[in-house]
Amino acid sequence: MAVKVGETIKLKGYITQLHFVRGRKGPQLEKLLGFKAGRLNMGWAMLYLTKLPKPSDFQFRGYTQMSGGVSQGHLDNPLDRRTAEKRLEDDNYDVVKLKEWIIRDVFSVSGSKRLVKIVPNPDGKRRTNKDYPPGKGIPQWELITRMPFKVAAAMLPGEVQWQK
Please provide the average confidence, as pLDDT, over all residues in the chain.
Answer: 87
pLDDT in tens, 18-58: 999 998 888 999 999 999 999 998 889 999 999 999 999 99
| Residue spans per domain, the chain | 14-155
Looking at 48-117, list the stretches that DSSP marks H as alpha helix, in order from N- to C-terminal side.
84-90, 95-105
Ramachandran region, residue 19 (left: φ > 0; alpha: ψ -120 to 50; beta: rest): alpha
Looking at the DSSP bridge assignments, the partners of residue 116 are 16, 48
What's the start-to-end Cα distance of the chain, in Å?
A: 22
